[in-house]
C-alpha cells in the first residue's frame, strides 16, 4: 500500500464527508493505493456514525473510536500503530489542511528521501491571538530542538516514512513536537513544504490559549529527557556539585574571617550574624538536594525498560 492517511478528529461530523471525498479524488487522480484511518477521539456528535457510513461508500476507510476524549496525540498514536502504507500522512479533519498536498508530500518522502516532511502554513487563516504566539513558539522549538529549517512544528499536515511513525512514541500532547521526537529517535532528514491553509469551515477549534503554556512545558520536558533522560546525574550532579562547592567556599571564608578577627583582637560577632553564612547554608543544602535528585534519577533510570533501548538501523 502506498499511503496511509491518519486523521484524528473530535466532533467534526460536518467536515468528514467533504474531506473523504476530496482525499479519494486526489488519490484516484494519482493512482495511489491508500487507506484513510479516521481516529474518532471520543466525539460526542455524530462523527462516528458518519465514519461508518463513509466506510460503506469507500472501502479504503478504516475507523478507530475511543470511548472518551484522550487528545490529539493519543489519537495519532493508535492511528500510527494501525497504518500500513509506505508513506504515512497525518491531516486534521477540519478541512484546514488540503489533501491536494498529498502527491508532493509523497514524492518528497519516496524520491527526495526525507524521513519526515512537515507542512508550513506560511499564510495562515487563523486569528492573530494564535498566529503571534505561534511564531514565538516555533522560534523556541527551533532553538531547543536544533531543527533549524522548520517554521511550523505543530502543523497537522505531515508525511512520514512508515518506520518513523512506528518508532516514535507520542506521549500525551507531544504531537506538537513530532519532528523533535523523530530527531531524537535518529530520523534526521527532516524537510518542510509550504502548504495551503484554509479557515475553519465548520465547527470550532478544540484548543484554547493553554496550548501555549502546555507547549512550552512539553518542550522543556523533551529537552530534558532527550538530553539527560538516560543520565540525569550529568545535570543534577553538575549543578549540585557547583552549588555545594560555592557554599563550602563561602563557609570557609566566613569561618576564616572570624578566626582572623579573633586572633588579631578585632571586633568579632557570631558567624550567624553574617548574611554570607545564610547564603552558604542555602547553597550547600540546595547543592546536596540536587545531587540527591541526580542519584534518585539514576536509580529510576536503572529500572526503566528503555535503559538499554537503542535504535538499530541495519544489521547482518
Ligand atoms: N482533535 C482531536 N482530539 C482533541 C482535539 C482535537 O482529535 O482532543 C483533532 C481535531 O478534530 C482536528 C485536529 O485535532 O482534526 C486539530 O484540531 P483543531 O482544528 O481544533 O486545532 P487548530 O486547527 O485550532 O490548531
Ligand atoms: Mg484546525
Average pLDDT, the chain: 93
What is the pLDDT, as a whole number, of residue 134?
87
In this prediction, residues 153-159 reach a mean pLDDT of 95
Arithmetic mean of pLDDT, 13-38: 97
Can you give the pLDDT at residue 124? 84
Q: Judge if the beta carbon of residue 38 lies within 6 A of ligand 1.
A: no
Report d(CA 152, CA 121) in Å as an integer: 7
Which residue has better confidence, 313 or 219?
A: 219
Residue 200 and residue 96 in contact, taking contact as beta carbons nearer than 8 Å: yes
Q: What is the pTM of this model?
A: 0.87
Distance 247 CA to ligand 2 centre (A): 52
How far apart are alpha carbons 244 and 214 in whole angstroms? 33
Between 211 and 74, residue with greater pLDDT: 74
Answer whether 115 contacts ligand 1 (Cβ < 6 A): no
Q: Over range 33-58, report the average pLDDT.
A: 97
Instruction: List the shell of residues around ion ligand 2, using CB closer than 5 Å.
Output: 92, 94, 96
- The ligand 1 atom at the shortest distance from the C-alpha of residue 205 is 20
Question: Could you give phi then psi for residue 273, rounded to 5 degrees?
Answer: -80, -15
CA of 249 to the centre of ligand 2 (A): 56
User: Which bound ligand lies closest to the C-alpha atom of 130?
Assistant: 1
pLDDT greater than 90 at residue 163: yes
Specify the pLDDT at position 208. Answer: 80
Is 95 touching ligand 1 by the criterion CB < 6 Å? no
Residue nearest to atom 7 of ligand 1 (CA): 9
Percentage of the chain lying above the pLDDT 70 cut: 100
Percent above pLDDT 90 for the chain = 77
Q: Is the pLDDT of residue 213 over 80?
A: yes
Stretch among 13-17, 30-34, 103-107, 303-307 having the lowest mean pLDDT: 303-307
Q: Is 44 in the pocket of ligand 1 (CB under 6 A)?
A: no
Taking 90 as the threshold, does the pLDDT of residue 165 lie above it?
yes
Give 128's pLDDT tier (boundaries 50, 70, 90): confident
Whole-number pLDDT of residue 95: 94
Residue nearest to atom 18 of ligand 1 (CA): 205
CB of residue 152 inside a 6 A radius of ligand 1: no
Amino acid at each position: 500500500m502506498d499511503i496511509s492517511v491518519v486523521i484524528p478528529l473530535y466532533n467534526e461530523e460536518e467536515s468528514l464527508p467533504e474531506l473523504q471525498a476530496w482525499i479519494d479524488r486526489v488519490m484516484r487522480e494519482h493512482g495511489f493505493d491508500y487507506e484513510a484511518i479516521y481516529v474518532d477521539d471520543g466525539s460526542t456528535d455524530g462523527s462516528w456514525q458518519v465514519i461508518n457510513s463513509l466506510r460503506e461508500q469507500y472501502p479504503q476507510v478504516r475507523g478507530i473510536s475511543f470511548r472518551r476524549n484522550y487528545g490529539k496525540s493519543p489519537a495519532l498514536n493508535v492511528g500510527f500503530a494501525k497504518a500500513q502504507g509506505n508513506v504515512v500522512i497525518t491531516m486534521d479533519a477540519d478541512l484546514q489542511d488540503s489533501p491536494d498536498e498529498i502527491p508532493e508530500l509523497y514524492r518528497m518522502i519516496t524520491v527526495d528521501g526525507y524521513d519526515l516532511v512537515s507542512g508550513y502554513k506560511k499564510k495562515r487563516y487563523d486569528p492573530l491571538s494564535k498566529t503571534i504566539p505561534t511564531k514565538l513558539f516555533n522560534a523556541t522549538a527551533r532553538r531547543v530542538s536544533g531543527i533549524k529549517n522548520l517554521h511550523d512544528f505543530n502543523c497537522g499536515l505531515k508525511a512520514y516514512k512508515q518506520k518513523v511513525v512506528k518508532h516514535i512514541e507520542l506521549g500525551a500532547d507531544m504531537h506538537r513536537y513530532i519532528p523533535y521526537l523523530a530527531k531524537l529517535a535518529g530520523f534526521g532528514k527532516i524537510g518542510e513544504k509550504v502548504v495551503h491553509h484554509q479557515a475553519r469551515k465548520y465547527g470550532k477549534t478544540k484548543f484554547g490559549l493553554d496550548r501555549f503554556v502546555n507547549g512550552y512545558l512539553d518542550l522543556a520536558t523533551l529537552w530534558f529527557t532527550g538530553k539527560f533522560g538516560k543520565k540525569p546525574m550529568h545535570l543534577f550532579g553538575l549543578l549540585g556539585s557547583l552549588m555545594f562547592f560555592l557554599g563550602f567556599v563561602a563557609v570557609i571564608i566566613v569561618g576564616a574571617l572570624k578566626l582572623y578577627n579573633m586572633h588579631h583582637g578585632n571586633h568579632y560577632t557570631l558567624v550567624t550574624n553574617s548574611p554570607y553564612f545564610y547564603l552558604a547554608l542555602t547553597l550547600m543544602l540546595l547543592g546536596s538536594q540536587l545531587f540527591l535528585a541526580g542519584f534518585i534519577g539514576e536509580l529510576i533510570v536503572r529500572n526503566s525498560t528503555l535503559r538499554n533501548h537503542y535504535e538499530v538501523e541495519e544489521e547482518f
